[in-house]
Each structure stands twice: as C-alpha cells, then as structure tokens.
Structure 1
C-alpha cells in the first residue's frame, strides 16, 4: 500500500490523473471485479441502495485526509464530515481498543467514563446547555430534540426550512419529504444569492424572512395548533451554505420564544470546529435551547447527542419514556473523549478557521475566472461553490456540478454537491487539513474548471 503523505514537503504532481490499473491487476479485471461487487451489493442490500459516482469505488483503507481503493489509488477526502480528526487517528483507535477490551454496557448502569465525557463536552457549550442525552445517530438526536420541545412546551408544531434535511427516521424525514401538515410549517431559508426580493438590502431581506416567521406563528395560533419551536441547521448546510442576512437567526429565535416555543439548532454538520468555531450557533450568535450533535462526534463510531438545560431534560424524562440500550455507553464515551483530545491538542478549531480562510480567499478569484462559478461562500473548512449555467440569471446547473464531481473523483479528490438544487460543490475535508493540502486541492479544482470551460 502507498504511504499516506500528510506533510507539507509532499511533492505536488503536475497533473492528477491516476490509472485505475496496477501491476498484477489490469483494468479489465478490475472492471469485472467492480461489476461483480455491484451485483452482489444489489442482491444483498436491494437495488437502488445509494452509491456515489457513476463508477462506484471500493475503499479499503483510510489515513488522515486520504482514502485508498482496492487498487492502491489514493483519494483526498473532501466530502466526509465524520472524520474531523482524520481517518483512523491512532489516539482514537487506541481509545476504542482499550475501552472495548475493558467494558461496554448500556445507559442504565452508572459509569464514570460516561459522566466525565458528558461534563467535558457540555463545558464546550454555552449556558444553559448543561445536560446531555447520548444516541447513536443524528436522526436519533433529532427525534429526542423534537420530543423534548413538545414535552416542555405542550405544543406540537415546528418551524423548519423549506429545503432542509435532518435525518431518516419516520418522524424526522417528514421535514424533508412530508407530510408536513399540521406538525411542520416550512419557511423560506434565508439567503442573499437568490433573494426573496431583488435589489433589497441585507436588512430588508432579513426583515422579509422574519416576517415570514411571524406569519407562520400567527397562522398556527389561528388554527389552534400549539408551537413547540423552530428547528434549523445554524449554517443551513443542506440548503447550500447560503450567506444569511446578519441577525436573522437570533431575531427569529426571539419571535419563537415570545410565542412560547423553543429553539433547536442542529449541529450535526456544523459542530466540532467545522466552521472555525466550536459550534455553528456561535457563528450566528444565537444560543439554542436544544442542540443536536452527531457525525464527527464519534469519528465513525455511532455516537450522537442532544444537549439542553437540566430543566428541559428532566421534563423530557418525566413525560417521555426513553432509554437507549446502545447509547451512553463507556465505549462511546471513551471514543468521544479521544475525539475531544485530538481537537483540543492539535488545535483543529483554530486550524479550521486558518486554513479555511486561506482556501476561501484563494477560491474567490474563481468567480472572475470561470463563468460557471456563480458564488463562493462558506466558513472554516465548509465551503460551497455555486455552479450555474447562466451567471446573470443565477441558473442552477445540477448536471454541471455532477460532472465536475465525477472529474474530480477521477483525479483522486472525493467531493459532493449540496443545496436545494444540488448544484453547490461542497468542500468539507477533515479538520487535519493543512495549507499544503489546500494548495493541492486548489490546483486540481483550477485544472478541472479549465477543462470544463474548454
């Protein structure tokens, strides 16, 4: 296997095309093997199970920011939000091994490792977020958050974005796929690139979106439906990382609280340093009543969390019979603590801010250089490139974004697309990403854009 190269001294290749074949495994044989695997996958997982890329790849190893396929080809991981500390970080692997060989039980026993981890994680949050309920997935964390809000307020309805995604359980997927009524009132997600009103100032746009929030609240009151709260990703990640009018989120929160609702912010994508701050709600200057966490929390071990005040958590336990056999375990806590160790000791939050700022500044000129780049935006190591077919009309180009992602994969860079029209190229590398890695990525992005612009 090739050695993973993470240091700035790694020489840059002139070009990024890499052969699918290696000695002893010619391309034809590799193609036959891949087709056989896809057939077996359909047979064991069901036809239609999601797989990335026109030619899906078989990954067999990860290290740092790199992933390796079965033929030894390496790929820079610009997609995954789970390994913020890098793939297979030795400190996290060792913590996992050590705890798994000692004890792993469920949440109905008392365990110091679980308590210490909860206290340590909560110390990174703002007041009054002082209680934690652990789960195994972001979807579970959101389920708990929704139950909490309904138990604490007596209300049922939640305000959500009209282009959101929060999970895949029966209840949480309703926020994306419906049915929405009467429990979920959708409002336009805030953005400046395709504004509600052309030519409006940022303040005017903010007020228009706040007006929509207030009308939704008033509509619920008129229908006799109680308000439980609002639920947003603080940086609106699935909506395409829009630039949000300043002050929108805290003022929306004030309207919801005035109507008796609670504020739930979903940090599954934004949290743990992704934005250059510990939490996306810090960037938006809006402290929630309930916050959900997942993905990077356990570096691949199923681990999520819902944090809130002790009063809300206690009401939840009183009104909602809840326990989770495979959550709040010593193994989860040991791995979660190791993730915090790496983030803190390696300065990954600061690195996300520093390297992300460099990457964003280097990408900004792409808007002048390439007609298809309608906008570049983001925070920390979470950056979106708006791919359009008509810059003046800001026409989303989903097919073009997909073609770009495929070309980058073929060069050895794994990325994806996001946004309600799936045309926003998403750059989201592990937080161990260094400036030298960013320079390598920038060269590949530039080269691919030149190719696509003929």
Structure 2
C-alpha cells in the first residue's frame, strides 16, 4: 500500500524531503517518455529533465553496465574515458570555453564556480534573480532565493527581477552592482539559469542577457551560465541556453541531464579564468569524473546527437507551445515550456488533475502559477497531444 510507504518515509527519512502531488506517484519502471506505476498505470512523464534520452535508454544502460563490470575508480589515475568525453563535450562549446572539471552534482559545480570567481576577482558579491535556484550546498543555498524565507541569503548577495514584460534585466543588474559597491562589496559573479526555470521560465527575446553580462564584466566580475536546466539541447535552438543570447560566459555549470540519470555534473571554463586557481588550489572529487560517470555521460551525449534530440525539442516544442497558447501565456524554448495561469490555486488544481489523468508536470515561479513542462527530449507529437488533452480536461474540472 502506498499509504504504508508514505508512513515509512516519514518515519525513516528527514522531514526536508518532499513528495510531488496530492496523491504521490509510485513508479516501478521507466521507458522512453513514460513511467509505469505500481498501480499498473502508464504515466506520461512531461517533467523529468534528468533523462533527456528517455528513461532507461538501452544504449546508455549498456554503457554503464559494461563500465561498471570493468573498472570504476577516481581521476588520479590515467583513463581514456574522461578524456574522450571531455573532448566530445567541449566540442559543443564556443572556442573560448576550453577546459572542464567534473563533479557529481550541479550544486557542486556552482559551488566550485563561486570559489573560482572569488579567487580570480578578489570580490565576494554575487547577483542572482529573485526566485533563483542554484543548489543545496551551504554556499549555493545562500544564492537560491527559491528555497524560501527560512533560508537566508548571504549579505554579499543581491537579487534582481527576472526578465519579463516591462522588466529591464540589465538595468536591474547595474543597480545591484551599484548597491554592492556602495556597501563596500566588490562584485565577483553574475549567476543566471539561462531559462530562468524557478523564476517561471523566461526565454525571449533572444539576446536580452548580453547587456547584463557586459555590465558585470565592466564591473570586474565574471558570468556563470547555469545550464543545469536548459543545457544539452533542451531549448531546441542550441546545445546550451546561453548560446541563444550571443553571450560569452566565463564559466558554465552542467548537471541533471548529463548522465541520463547517472549522477554526473561539471564546470566548463575559459582556461585563463581557471589557470591560477587550478595551479594554486587543489580540487579533488572522489566520484566526479569516475569511469562509470564518464561512460554514462558519453553515451548520453552521443544519443542526443545521433538521435537528433535537439532538433526534436525544437519541432515538438513549437507544436506543443502552439497548442498551449489557447490556454494562457506561453513562455520558453524547445521542450522547456511554461504556461502562465491566473493563480497558484488553479495551477495546483491543474497539476493534480493532470496527475490523475496520468500526465506528470509541475508548477514554478514566485507565484507558483506557471505550469512547468520539461519532458525527456524523446517526447514527440503523440505525447504532446496526450498532454494537451489532459490539460484541457483538467482546466475544465470544477
């Protein structure tokens, strides 16, 4: 009984854990864009961006199993796998971004980026958006306002309004820089999730990030593009979200979709940014970059490229966005879409109504009124039609 599992969770797991939906889902198997529940039902997964190649892709499963059965150790030994993947990964980035450090999670990657930025700039000030989420370590939790008022921001942190109608994002960044300087804090880093996921999704118009990045560089700070959410082709137009804006990040953090479910993440950097830090400060991560992680990541990237999943994200995303437009304001790019509804109560009702109809989505934004849709990149028109039908029925619920 799921009620017994819920009770056992409450007894055994820390209370900071949360479950999705009024009636939690209990999956026992996954395949492609679908999860299969202990209740015997098939669920359309329109939320899980951790598996861009789809649940349990056989090519990735085989690569992980083969490497697990052969060797798994750390990066202080020579191994071809880490170099093969680094070469393939960096080939997807603009030329100035030329070196990578591997971690286990996006939180670790962002934590490392902050350490590097403070070392390089001599500053401590960090600018993020008002409802940003960048991770769970002590350092990045302080720059994650979406964790709620019980998690205080650091005194070195300034927040700016997320991009939106009538918002001059660059002006907000310039004002935050001025406020930092007024309080004797030297700016070190502008951190942006380039799809603004927790802020309710903001993608357009392409290019709006450029003036804000220029302002941070003029102030002597660095720019970190947090690609944990929009990266690996999800936006459809480019492999990385920042590329839609014509900006040149100093650092790029990667996470969730990198290993199609296997825990692997990383930080890509311009070599001149990381050179002195790397020479003077040792960084070692026992599991970051291990051979199994690299096998998972290499297979995932190959599937994204070979199966043209970025192109599918563009085509299916456009089709889905057109269908969603009848129900509210649509935000996003590719297969990262937000649908703005009039209020949080309606959004929660729709999310739970769609769950009852076996379609899984969520909601985000400071008002929790933006439906957040970010399925595996194998999601096609058939799945889009199923989602649109479930949405229409859920909106009609009394």
TM-score normalized with structure 2 length:
0.95
Aligned residue runs from structure 1 range 219-298, under 5 A: 219-244=179-204, 247-276=207-236, 277-298=238-259
Task: Judge conservation of contact 1:190–1:245 (CA < 8 Å) in 2.
Answer: no
Q: CA deviation at 1:154?
A: 1.4
Task: Judge conservation of contact 1:191–1:245 (CA < 8 Å) in 2.
Answer: no
Q: Radius of gyration: which is bigger?
A: 1
Q: CA deviation at 1:355?
A: 0.7
Question: Where does residue 49 of structure 2 map in the other structure?
Answer: 81
- Distance in 2 (alpha carbons) for counterparts of 1:267 and 1:47: 29
1:400 is the counterpart of 2:342: no
- Distance in 2 (alpha carbons) for counterparts of 1:245 and 1:282: 13
For residue 62 of structure 2, the aligned residue among 80, 89, 94 is: 94
**SS of alignment partner, residue 49 of structure 1:** coil
- The number of residues matched between the two structures is 392
Question: Where does residue 346 of structure 1 map in the other structure?
Answer: 307
1:175 is the counterpart of 2:129: no
Give deviations 1:257-290, integer Å, cap 9, x for gaps.
1111111010000000110021100122222110
**SS of alignment partner, residue 263 of structure 1:** strand
Question: Where does residue 427 of structure 1 map in the other structure?
Answer: 373
Q: CA deviation at 1:300?
A: 0.9
Aligned residue runs from structure 1 range 142-221, under 5 A: 142-177=110-145, 178-192=151-165, 195=166, 205-206=167-168, 209-221=169-181
- Distance in 2 (alpha carbons) for counterparts of 1:360 and 1:331: 37
- Distance in 2 (alpha carbons) for counterparts of 1:319 and 1:219: 32
Task: Judge conservation of contact 1:151–1:319 (CA < 8 Å) in 2.
Answer: no
Q: After TM superposition, where is structure 1 displaced by more than 4 Å over at least 4 residues in a row?
A: 243-246
- Distance in 2 (alpha carbons) for counterparts of 1:449 and 1:398: 13
**SS of alignment partner, residue 242 of structure 1:** coil
Q: 1:99 to 1:125 in 2, by over 3 A?
A: same
Q: 1:47 to 1:158 in 2, by over 3 A?
A: closer
Q: CA deviation at 1:245?
A: 5.3
**SS of alignment partner, residue 116 of structure 2:** helix
1:418 is the counterpart of 2:380: no
Question: Where does residue 436 of structure 1 map in the other structure?
Answer: 382
- Distance in 1 (alpha carbons) for counterparts of 2:205 and 2:281: 37
TM-score normalized with structure 1 length:
0.84
Aligned residue runs from structure 1 range 294-309, under 5 A: 294-309=255-270
Task: Judge conservation of contact 1:191–1:243 (CA < 8 Å) in 2.
Answer: no
CA RMSD after TM alignment: 1.5
- Distance in 1 (alpha carbons) for counterparts of 2:299 and 2:203: 33
- Distance in 2 (alpha carbons) for counterparts of 1:126 and 1:140: 23
Q: CA deviation at 1:244?
A: 4.4
Q: CA deviation at 1:246?
A: 5.3
